[in-house]
Amino acid sequence: MVDRHFSQPDLAELYDYFNFWRCSPQDDFYLDLVMDARCVLDVGCGTGKLQRVARERGHTGRLVGLDPADAMLEVGRREREDVEWTLGDLRTRSFDGEFDLVVMTGHAFQVFLTDDELREFLAAVRRALTDDGRFVFETRNPAARGWEAWTPERVRTVDGPGGRRATCVHRLESVEGDLVTFTSDYGVEGWDGPRSSRSTLRFLDAEDLNGFLAEAGFDVSAQYGYWDRGPLTDASAEIITFARPR
């Protein structure tokens, strides 16, 4: 089931307002990788911001944006027609050795909540890559306990559609093992009330993550704690991983 803030058109329209280009250093980090690759698959691409900017910067190869939320893809389709916007789940697609780079940005990797889901997904990534391809993604480091900041006191405010004030606030519900559940409440001037979406994400530590990658036939070639490629430590907010098929 796709979370409501991705599947509902009125909420999908807000995504790029809250996640505008270069609101995070991850944007330039991933863009450099995409620009150096010939065929790129962005899994969980959302509105396809990364692929759209790559085209704007002159990428001439194959760019595929895959996402299970058609409302998000529709935003991308309106912006550019020269990206392959594909609705679906990688685990049920038939990509076979087609990409020299697969990326998964925006912590989308954390949507796989069970071991079986994760194993199926990593097997699908392995099939999609060329023998010398790379899988690059990030996941939040559980040691940093980032969910503790998801409180009603931390409200994000941006200029939304038509210049109207838009707000977003996350509210932590529960932490059960490595699963964190929270709600996201969105409001826009002129709406009759806030719209809510409920999400659960999995926070794997590096040891467990690397174990799943090894089981799926990947070698971890690099792992960083932040977008400046600094070392991964207990205090790092991110676990940024480069993996290659074995």
Torsion sign over Cα 75, 81, 82, 88 = positive
Average pLDDT (152-160) is 96
Query: Does residue 158 sit in the same domain as residue 70?
Result: no
Tell me the residue range of the domain where 162 lies.
144-201
CB 220 within 8 A of CB 243: yes
The pLDDT tens digits of the residues spanning 163-197 come to 999 999 999 999 999 999 999 999 999 999 999 99
Torsion sign over Cα 69, 241, 90, 208 = negative
Query: Does residue 8 sit in the same domain as residue 37?
Result: yes
Query: Does residue 129 sit in the same domain as residue 220?
Result: yes
Query: Does residue 93 sit in the same domain as residue 176?
Result: no
Query: Does residue 130 sit in the same domain as residue 69?
Result: yes
How much is the pTM?
0.97
